[in-house]
Structure 1
Amino acid sequence: MKITLTAFVTMDGVHQAPGGPNEDTSDGFTHGGWSVPYGDEDFGRFVTGVFDNADAFLLGRRTYDIFAAHWPRVTDPEDPIATKLNSLPKYVPSSTLGEPSWAHTTVFRKNAVAEIAELKRRPGRELQIHGSARLAQGLLAKNLIDTVHLLVFPVVLGSGRRLFEDGTLPTAFRLEGLSRTSTGVVIHTYEASGRPEYGSYELAPEQE
Structure 2
Amino acid sequence: MRKLIVSAIMSLDGYVEGPGGDVMALPMDDFFDAHNLERQRAADTLLLGATTYMGLKAYWPAVADNPALSPAVVNNPAVADVHREIGRRNNELRKVVVSDSLTEQDTAPWTDSTTIVRRAGAHKVVAELKSRPGRDILMFGSRTLWNDLLVAGLVDELHLMVGAAVLGGGTAAFAGPVPPLRLLETRRRDGSENVILRYAVTGRGE
TM-score by length of 2: 0.81
The one of 23, 40, 48 equivalent to 1:51 is 40
Q: 1:152 to 1:163 in 2, by over 3 A?
A: same
* Contact persistence 2:151–2:204 (CA under 8 A): no
Shift of residue 111 of structure 1? 1.0
What CA distance in whole angstroms lies between the structure 2 residues aligned with 1:185 and 1:65? Answer: 26
Structure 1 unpaired stretches of 5+: 18-27, 197-208
Q: Which has the larger radius of gyration?
A: 1
Q: Which amino acid aligns with 1:131?
A: G
Deviation of the 1:170 alpha carbon = 3.2
Q: Which residue of 1 is the match for residue 198 of structure 2?
A: 189
Change (3 A) 1:114 1:80: same
1:42-191 matched pairs, under 5 angstroms:
42-76=31-65, 79-99=84-104, 100-101=107-108, 102-103=110-111, 104-109=113-118, 110-165=120-175, 168-181=176-189, 182-191=191-200
C-alpha deviation, 1:34, in angstroms: 1.7
Task: Give the 3-state SS of the residue equivalent to 2:91 in structure 1.
Answer: helix
Q: Contact 1:54/1:84 (CA < 8 Å) preserved in 2?
A: no
Distance 2:204 2:156 in 1: 13
Structure 2 counterpart of 1:172, which letter? P
List 4+ stretches of structure 1 deviating above 6 A.
none
Q: Distance in 2 between matches of 1:84 and 1:46?
A: 14
* CA offset digits 1:29-57 (Å, max 9, x no partner): 17441234x513x4433222111101100
3-state SS of paired residue (2:147): helix
Aligned-residue offset at 1:16: 1.7
Q: Take 1:120 and 1:14, find their aligned partners in 2: how far apart are those partners?
A: 28
From 23, 26, 30, the counterpart of 1:35: 26
Work out the percentage of aligned pairs sharing the same amino acid. 34
CA distance in 2, matches of 1:131, 1:30: 12
Tell me the secondary structure at the aligned position of residue 59 of structure 1.
strand
TM-score computed with the length of structure 1 as normaliser: 0.80
How far the C-alpha of 1:7 sits from its partner, in A, is 0.6
| CA RMSD after TM alignment | 2.0
CA deviations 1:58-83 (Å, max 9, x no partner) are: 00111011011111212349522112
Give unmatched runs, 5+ long, in structure 2: 67-80
